[in-house]
Amino acid sequence: MHRQHVFVSYEWYCPIAKDSDALLGSVIRGREHGADEIMDGFEVIEPLIGETWVVDGRVAVSPPGDTDALYIRPMLHERGMVPSGTKVLHSLVLDNNVLSDMTQCRRSANIDYLISLLRSKPLELNPTMAMLEQRQGFVGASQALHDFAELLGKRFGAWDAKKNASSFDKALEDAKSGLAENVTLLSGYLPAILYLYHQAGSAEYKLEWLSGLVRSVDLPFLQLPFYLAALLFLAKEEPALFRKKVLVKVRKDTKLMPSLDRQKKSILNLGHDVMLPAAALFPANTQGTMVFPYIATRDYLLQDFLAEVRCGAVVMQQNGGANGAWELNPGGRLHEKLGAAIARCLPHREHPGSETEKSIRRGNLRAFSDSYLEKCVALKHTAPP
């Protein structure tokens, strides 16, 4: 039993870089111009497990339609690269639903599968993002942490987690404001995406519209929210391509609200779906070590979103964070239906600019987001019943 591999990193916190497109440009251009250019001095790393669907504790040979399922997705895939000689730490990042299943003894067969996986593979169990998300509004978050520590002790004999639970509880409380800031940043496009979702026109037309807005207002260029926009627009234009439960979740997450407070809360809930793959790329905080992340989720929309994107390379930041060079999965619906439009519309910069310029863009993003929150509420009041 690989007990030593089942642990929670009590020191992890991932500040997301504020404007990553230019920083990643050299990596992306290198991939476009030939593999040798970016492979020199790097090693390709492979995931311990591939894309996996689990139903009632058993691996499904194909996506199980609308059946409630656990989905595990390696985020770097077969193209993950690290500097030569780097130690790789494989980390299984849990979403809030899966963490709740573990602490509340729900969906026991799927949790047993996860535990067996952790015992058989050198995987770190990482619920940190889920625990931080819980603290945004769940009064029982501290108790859930202690329940989880108890579970680790009983199932794995990892009682150190219980001993350190109080200090980790405090660390999470200190870090939750940083999570809120990052979610707000990554959610900055979402009010405009929601507004465009409810307009007439094709998915391609709406992507062009969104791209024009982002460029004209001088905003930070964020890849994952743009890809999420494409997924939402495509789900509305061609619903036959999606599972019924995904469409239900899309309609719920894109619902217009009658007040600014309720609309903002709804937007931030959706923002957590964008945040998870971004935050899954985090540094090991140990020199010469790299984290290879996997995400475990049973959220229908997040499952589909994760299946449409992949991270080709990771760039570490001077501030201790990490950014990914995100791209479309070549086998996905977005690549097939909107790949050309996304390639044409996705904003990018050659250089990130000065700290002053980046600060101005973040301020522009806040104003942009607020203006489209107001537009969404106004649209709700003018839309036919």
What pairs with residue 232 in β-bridges? none
Whether 12 shows a pLDDT value over 50: the answer reads no
pLDDT at 103: 85
The vertex-238 CA angle with 233 and 241, nearest 5°, equals 110
What's the distance, CA 80 to chain centroid? Answer: 17
Q: Where are the alpha helices (DSSP H) in 104-202?
A: 108-120, 128-134, 141-156, 160-163, 165-186, 190-197
The yes-or-no verdict on residue 218 having pLDDT over 50 is yes
* Residues spanned by the domain of 36: 3-382
Percent of the chain with pLDDT over 90: 46
| Amino acid at position 39, single letter | M
3-state secondary structure of 87: strand
| Spatial distance between the Cα atoms of 184 and 362, rounded to a whole number of angstroms | 10
Using pLDDT thresholds of 50, 70 and 90, give the confidence band for residue 10. very low
pLDDT for residue 285: 63
CA 279/CA 272 separation, integer angstroms: 10
Residue 67 has pLDDT above 90, yes or no: yes
Cα Rg for the chain, rounded, in angstroms?
A: 20
pLDDT digits (tens, 9 = 90+) for 180-211: 788 888 899 999 999 999 999 999 999 999 99
- Residue 315 pLDDT: 67
Q: Per residue in 130-166, pLDDT tens? A: 887 877 766 777 887 888 788 777 777 666 667 777 7
Number of domains in the chain: 1
What does the pLDDT look like over 91-123, one tens digit per residue?
Answer: 899 998 998 898 888 999 999 999 999 889 998
Tokens of 103: 């602490």
Predicted local confidence at residue 379, as pLDDT: 97
- Output the CA–CA distances (angstroms, integers) from residue 280 to 162, 284, 296, in the order listed: 24, 11, 11
Look up the pTM and report it. 0.84
Q: Is residue 78 very low, low, confident or very high in pLDDT (cuts 50, 70, 90)? A: low
| Per-residue pLDDT at 286 exceeds 50 | yes
Give the model's confidence band at 38: pLDDT under 50 very low, under 70 low, under 90 confident, else very high: very low
17 φ/ψ sector (left φ>0, alpha ψ -120 to 50, else beta): beta
Residues linked to residue 55 through DSSP beta bridges, in sequence order: 58
